Chains A and B, each alone.
Chain A
Amino acid sequence: MSAAAPGTSKTGHSDVVQKKKKGPGALATAYLVIYNVVMTAGWLVIAVGLVRAYLARGSYHGLYYSIEKPLKFFQTGALLEILHCAVGIVPSSVVLTGFQVMSRVFLTWAVTHSVREVQSEDSVLLFVTAWTVTEIIRYSFYTFSLLNHLPYLIKWARYTFFFALYPMGVTGELLTIYAALPFVQKTGLYSITLPNKYNFSFDYYTFLILTMISYIPLFPQLYFHMIRQRKKVLGHVDDYSKVE
């Protein structure tokens, strides 16, 4: 098995296979394979948990509680990906990866976990489902890429499912934040008021509203970036009959 693993980029940026690119060493590759396998397995656990809970209850309300712990564990575990970029074993931008992971972690902990009242909302199921399907495909994509045996189906799925999953996830996230607003305002959660010794104030309610507004410029940029990546990665399908 070759030590160099071409095309092991973690974001959509340079998924086109570049044989000349220097990949991570053998040890780093082994570690990354283990990491991605574990994450794939973790999100599969969440997926199975959701299905089993749905079958057991007979409705899709309140399924969050059945997968709360693995969701928190594996989504928070994604913070390691920032470290991977910082150390250099994954050729992606630290800032971009950091931003993506932190937004997920923010939604998991600072919104869903912190505001108990939204945990029974259906919007939570919406984004959890979107995240689950996305992450299972994404982590298996990375696993296979690292092992140089990427089935076309996985590549296709990664660059096609997002068409539905992105809007689905964004809708779920926005609805959840919106549902949390009245409770944050009422309890003054995570907020600091004047007067105080350090002359500082923070209004979490306003912060959440600003976060929601920030989706407006950010989401289209990410969405169109994925569409561009799709053209680049899947575009040459007409030229060859077999890929990789």
Chain B
Amino acid sequence: MSSVWCLFSHPKDVGITSAMSRTTFFEVKILDAKTKEQLCFLDKVEPYSTTGDIKILFHKLYPQWYPARQALKLDPKEKSLRDDEVLQNLPVGTSATFYFRDLGPQFGWTMVFLAECVGALLTYLLFYFRVPYIYSHRFISTSSPHPVVTLACACHSFHYGKRLIETIFVHRFSHGTMPLRTIIRNCAYYWGFSAWLAYYINHPLYTPPSYGDLQVHYALVLFAMCEIGNFSIHLTLNNLKGDGSRGRRFPVPTKNPFTWLFYFVSCPNYTYEVGSWVSFSIMTQCLPVALYTSLGFLQMTIWAKGKHRAYSREFKDYPANRTAIIPLVL
């Protein structure tokens, strides 16, 4: 409960603005949202500082609460303030009171995606190489006599390997972080299903597809096309974000034929993803894979519909013939 002198010098301070800004400084009080105990008092805060700046100051006093973990709000029951909100634009007088909530350990989205993909990839391999204690003793470290099993392993590994590469080199995440609970839940989902699928595909009693090589080869072609398609869309979306954030535009088809799906759907990346998993189901003729595909399809449809609604609302000239995820129907 001590008053803290906080001389906040902003790089933007230099120049004409410093003469004008000397007029009114803000006082900022930060209280705990639950106990209402005063955690910090900041004196002489520049009026055009943002929530993010205040979080940095708060972090200096409480090193364990880095800015990503902080949720600051004007009222304990309200939503958290965005990091780019400017202090003088908020409905407070020159003496502002914020309520603080600890969001718990936070992880960057890149970290999360990496954990999910690496886990899923390695888990599958454990089953492919028939590590001890999974199958019966006499099958330890043996390999399946069916070529489709090796092909399935290659495809599964390629899929998650591609996702890893994209996470590191392609995606640019707009949101900052994710709490620990969400990561545990997501990893459990990806690793768990990877294990469940891998168990059946690499099982000694695995039955290859009914239509043999024909089925496998067609499925492989479809799989490859969907993977390339998915990657093309990610590149396109990435280039979209690069063109200055204020001139927002919705994604459109480019010269790449795989992006022509944009003529029909808002989220072709999800369409291709579903396509990959459908082809993987056909390739392995494995019911658990089909079930996993259905779950993924359900989740991605929800996301696609949300995105589609957001696009339609934001852009008045948004193409009317586009559906969310499946051309013409969904």
A197 interface contact, C-beta 8 A: yes
A194 interface contact, C-beta 8 A: yes
Rounded to whole Å, the gap between the CB of A194 and the closest CB of chain B is 4
Using Cβ atoms and an 8 Å threshold, which residues of chain A touch B207? Answer: 195-197, 199
Rounded to whole Å, the gap between the CB of A199 and the closest CB of chain B is 4
- A194, B286: Cβ atoms closer than 8 Å: no
- B203, A199: Cβ atoms closer than 8 Å: yes
A198 interface contact, C-beta 8 A: yes
Interface centre among A197, A199, A201 (most CB of B within 10 A): A199
Q: Render A192-222 as a binary contact track against B, CB cut-off 8 A, 1 for contact.
A: 0011111111000000000000000000000
B66 interface contact, C-beta 8 A: no
Residues from 268 to 308 in B contacting A, C-beta threshold 8 Å = 284-288
B107 interface contact, C-beta 8 A: no
What class of interface size applies to chain B in its complex with A? 10 to 19
Using Cβ atoms and an 8 Å threshold, which residues of chain A touch B288? Answer: 199-200
B2 interface contact, C-beta 8 A: no
Interface centre among A195, A197, A198 (most CB of B within 10 A): A198
B201 interface contact, C-beta 8 A: yes
With A200-B200, A201-B200 in contact, is A195–B285 under 8 Å at CB?
no
- B286, A198: Cβ atoms closer than 8 Å: yes
A201 CA to B199 CA, complexed, in Å: 11
- B285, A200: Cβ atoms closer than 8 Å: no
Using Cβ atoms and an 8 Å threshold, which residues of chain B touch A194? Answer: 200, 203, 205-206
- B203, A198: Cβ atoms closer than 8 Å: no
- B200, A195: Cβ atoms closer than 8 Å: no
**Which of B201, B203, B285 is A197 in contact with, Cβ under 8 Å?**
B285
A195 CA to B203 CA, complexed, in Å: 9
A197 CA to B284 CA, complexed, in Å: 10
- A200, B286: Cβ atoms closer than 8 Å: yes
Using Cβ atoms and an 8 Å threshold, which residues of chain B touch A195? Answer: 205-207
Count residues on chain A whose CB falls below 8 Å from chain B CBs.
8
B210 interface contact, C-beta 8 A: yes
Instruction: Please give me the residue from chain B that is nearest to A197 by CB atom.
Output: B207
Rounded to whole Å, the gap between the CB of A211 and the closest CB of chain B is 18
A198 CA to B207 CA, complexed, in Å: 8
Rounded to whole Å, the gap between the CB of B111 and the closest CB of chain A is 29
Instruction: Please give me the residue from chain B that is nearest to A196 by CB atom.
Output: B207
Q: Render B192-215 as a binary contact track against A, CB cut-off 8 A, 1 for contact.
A: 000000001101011100100000
A194 CA to B206 CA, complexed, in Å: 8
- A198, B285: Cβ atoms closer than 8 Å: yes
Q: Render A9-31 as a binary contact track against B, CB cut-off 8 A, 1 for contact.
A: 00000000000000000000000
Using Cβ atoms and an 8 Å threshold, which residues of chain A touch B205? Answer: 194-195
Using Cβ atoms and an 8 Å threshold, which residues of chain A touch B287? Answer: 198-200
Q: Render A91-129 as a binary contact track against B, CB cut-off 8 A, 1 for contact.
A: 000000000000000000000000000000000000000
Q: Render A167-202 as a binary contact track against B, CB cut-off 8 A, 1 for contact.
A: 000000000000000000000000000111111110
Instruction: Please give me the residue from chain A that is nearest to B286 by CB atom.
Output: A199
Instruction: Please give me the residue from chain A that is nearest to B289 by CB atom.
Output: A199
Rounded to whole Å, the gap between the CB of A84 and the closest CB of chain B is 24
A201 CA to B197 CA, complexed, in Å: 11
A200 CA to B203 CA, complexed, in Å: 10
Instruction: Please give me the residue from chain A that is nearest to B208 by CB atom.
Output: A199
A199 CA to B284 CA, complexed, in Å: 9
Rounded to whole Å, the gap between the CB of A45 and the closest CB of chain B is 41
- A199, B210: Cβ atoms closer than 8 Å: no
A194 CA to B288 CA, complexed, in Å: 13
Using Cβ atoms and an 8 Å threshold, which residues of chain A touch B286? Answer: 198-200
Using Cβ atoms and an 8 Å threshold, which residues of chain B touch A199? Answer: 200-201, 203, 206-207, 284-288
Residues from 110 to 133 in B contacting A, C-beta threshold 8 Å = none
Rounded to whole Å, the gap between the CB of A157 and the closest CB of chain B is 35
A197 CA to B200 CA, complexed, in Å: 12
Using Cβ atoms and an 8 Å threshold, which residues of chain B touch A201? Answer: 200
Using Cβ atoms and an 8 Å threshold, which residues of chain A touch B210? Answer: 197
Using Cβ atoms and an 8 Å threshold, which residues of chain A touch B201? Answer: 199
A81 CA to B235 CA, complexed, in Å: 48
Instruction: Please give me the residue from chain A that is nearest to B197 by CB atom.
Output: A199
Instruction: Please give me the residue from chain B that is nearest to A194 by CB atom.
Output: B205
What is B's interface to A at a CB cutoff of 8 Å?
Answer: 200-201, 203, 205-207, 210, 284-288
What 19 new A-B contacts, CB under 8 Å, besides A194-B200, A195-B205, A197-B210? A194-B205, A194-B206, A195-B206, A195-B207, A196-B207, A197-B207, A198-B285, A198-B286, A198-B287, A199-B200, A199-B201, A199-B203, A199-B284, A199-B287, A199-B288, A200-B200, A200-B286, A200-B287, A201-B200
5 A-B pairs with C-beta separation under 8 A: A194-B203, A197-B210, A199-B203, A199-B285, A200-B288
Task: Give the 3 A-B residue pairs with the shortest CB-CB distance, closest first.
Answer: A200-B287, A195-B205, A194-B205
